[in-house]
Chains A and B, each alone.
Chain A
Amino acid sequence: MDSVNNLPVLVVIIPLLSAILTPIIGRIIRSAGWYMTVVATFTVFMMALSLLFSVLDGGAISYSLGGWEPPWGIEYVVDYISGFVMVVVSLLAFIVAVYARRSVELEIAEDKASFFYAAYLLFLTGLMGMTITGDMFNLYVFVEITSLAVYALIAMGKRREALIASFNYLILGTIAGTFILIGVGYLYMATGTLNMADLRRLLPALYNTTLVRTAFAFFTVGLSLKLALFPFHIWLPNAYTQAPSVVSAFVAATATKVGAYVLMRIMFNVFTVRFNMEVIPVTSILLALSSLAIIAGSVIAISQTNIKRMLAYSSIGQIGYIVFGVAIANDTAVTGSIVHIFNHALMKGSLFMVVGAVVYRTGIEDIAGLKGMGKKMPFTMAAFTIGALSMIGVPLTVGFVSKWYLILGALEAHMWYLVPVVLISSLLTAVYFWRVVESIYFHHTDGEESIHCVSSMNEAPAIMTIPAFLLAFFCILFGIAAFLPVSVASTAAKMLLGVV
């Protein structure tokens, strides 16, 4: 019974402990890093799953660190949404960790490998902490842990540009972190508490003070930078393009999603829907920005020649979808957003893993270089195609499910003029993914390139293909069995918005 009670803290402590042990053990046994990472991420995934199930059974779980009762001590809260996001993050962490082995062997120097895994686990620690914490200052601390780990991970990219990309992100990420900290400070100044539930109780009386409004503005801008909402997205394309393949897959699938989750928490759980709609018209601002993000992300993606960069711009559009649902702020649209956190993690994880596998085998990152790849790497490319179809939003894939809920939500809110945004962007998504799919299957290899490739079939190692394929399979599985994630997400959305 005891160990069950302590699960909320263990999901944070286990990756932290393994992150510290990895470099120490890595000094003795070189290859230990990968095994430890896989075991640790799998354990965390199982724990997150069991936490989610116990929330589904018996409601939210609260854990007080050090036995200090909230609101004085730091509180960890597992409810529908945090349980859901933790399962998504740890699932992706595990699958990408399995995939990582060969890719890391190729892209990371051998003596740096154990540090790479340490940073990977530290990144997971930060993400789990950001998700589970019910304390504002603790949130800031985990945001910083996540950011520092991710700067290091991106800087390990094999080209020199990786350092510049990482440095740019470091500057912007630090500004974002500072803004969040200022927000936390102002809220503490206004209320004298850092506990989220306590803030929710105390804030409504202070909604009209400049201090609280300023705090909210700082949060919104800081988090928009973290989750790369459209005008704040400049750091993202370079970071995703230059990072090692494993990092692109993991970060693209999880980091910005957790940022979006934190935005939801603060908008709906610390503040209320009433505040967002009536006191400051933040939902309309976010609606405009996210619509821009959806369209602009897709348009810029069309003109890219590097496939990683194309996926990065597509991520900006997809983050737009999540914020779009949040900004509509009714329970159907927010359900769409929460489901899209899961769905986009599956799709982007799978797509970036496929690209990583292609880079592993051929070193090609240009879309033009993918010609005839459908024959050379049929399984990998099948996974890519499923991911691409899902991104477009073809029925029976997960992409369709989230777009369906977003459109329904927009219609329910009588914002019919938003429907074309989603539809046009699906069309644009089809354009830029079709370009890739076309060159994969319908172009024959030029004579010049076939010299490089002796055997006609040259599949990536199974340890890379299977995880990518598994995520692609999930894209279809949860596109058909959509009720599984949707039922959790819709309960989570109702609780966030206070409908229940």
Chain B
Amino acid sequence: MKEHTVIRAVSRILIPFIQLFALYVIAHGDLGPGGGFQGGVIFGASIILYVIAFGMKDGRKVVAEKTSDILNSTGVLLYVLIGLLCLLAGGAYLEYTSLAAFFSGGEHSEHAKHLASHLGIYGIEIVIGITVAAVMITIFFEAARHEDD
């Protein structure tokens, strides 16, 4: 797609904004519409746009195969670890309010619990975003590679 200067220029301008929007959607997930899945899909789409405009070789320079492979499982791993962190704090699995134990001594005020629940969901949204984006990228590369063969 070497001759498509317009596509390349437009993608170059748009991609940072798409990614910023993806981060906004992820960050917004605990209070409004949005969340890890949607944000992850948008982020993955930005990379896919890059690969479409600049080709597989340049695309793999941005996200190496190893990177996307590792990110695939890192997201799930962190998800499980956040769940286990709640167990360590004395709550049930994924009971975010129990995370309050880590930053407010023995007593958990309503405020601390609220904050803990907030942070817990944030963490979950972020790691879901990582996994979804990485899986989108992996699937796209796999499909595109078979097209090449």
The answer on a CB contact under 8 Å between B94 and A20 is no
Query: Which of B83, B96, B98 is in CB contact (< 8 Å) with A13?
Result: B83
**Closest CB-CB distance, B131 to chain A, in whole Å?**
10
Classify chain B's interface size: 10 to 19
Instruction: Select one of B73, B77, B92 contacting A6, CB under 8 A.
Output: B92
In the complex, what residues of A have CB within 8 A of residue B86's CB?
Answer: 66
Q: List CB contacts (< 8 Å) of A42-73 with chain B.
A: 63-67
Q: Tell which of B77, B94, B98 touches A17, judged by Cβ atoms closer than 8 Å.
A: B77
CB distance from B64 to the nearest CB of A (A): 14
**CA gap between A66 and B117 in the complex, in Å:** 11
Contacts of A65 in B (CB 8 A): 92-94
**A24–B75 Cα gap in the complex (Å)?**
12
Q: Is the CB of B87 within 8 A of A6?
A: yes
Within 8 A of B (CB), among A1-39: 2, 6, 9, 13, 16-17, 20-21, 23-24
B92→A16 contact, CB < 8 A: no
Is there an interface contact between B77 and A66, defined as CB atoms closer than 8 Å?
A: no
Q: Contact at B84–A13, with CB atoms within 8 Å?
A: yes
Specify which of A2, A17, A64, A66 is in contact with B80 (CB 8 Å cutoff): A17
With A6-B87, A20-B77, A67-B98 as contacts: A13 and B93 at CB distance below 8 Å: yes
**Helix, strand, loop or mixed for chain B's interface?**
helix
User: A13-B80, A67-B98 in contact; A20/B73 too (CB < 8 A)?
Assistant: yes
Cα A23 to Cα B73 in complex, Å, equals 9
- Which residue of A is nearest B75, CB measured? A20
Say which size band chain A's interface belongs to: 10 to 19
- Contact check, B73 vs A64: say whether CB atoms are below 8 A apart: no
Q: Are A67 and B95 in contact (CB under 8 A)?
A: yes
Question: Taking CB as reference atom, which chain B residue is nearest A64?
Answer: B92
Q: Compute how far the CA of A64 lies from the CA of B76 in the bound complex, rounded to whole angstroms.
A: 21
The reply to whether the CB of B20 lies closer than 8 angstroms to some CB of chain A is: no
Residue in chain A with minimal CB distance to B98: A67
Q: Is the CB of A20 within 8 A of B76?
A: yes
CA distance in complex: A17, B73 (Å): 10
Indicate if B38 sits at the interface (CB-CB under 8 A).
Answer: no
Residues on A with C-beta less than 8 A from B90 are 2
Q: Using A21-B77, A67-B95, A67-B97 as known contacts, list a sample of 20 further A-B pairs with CB atoms less than 8 Å apart, ordered by residue number in A.
A: A2-B90, A6-B92, A9-B92, A9-B93, A13-B80, A13-B84, A17-B80, A17-B84, A20-B73, A20-B76, A24-B73, A24-B77, A63-B92, A65-B93, A66-B86, A66-B92, A66-B94, A66-B95, A66-B96, A67-B91
Q: Which residues of B contact A (CB under 8 A)?
A: 69-70, 73, 76-77, 80, 83-84, 86-87, 90-98
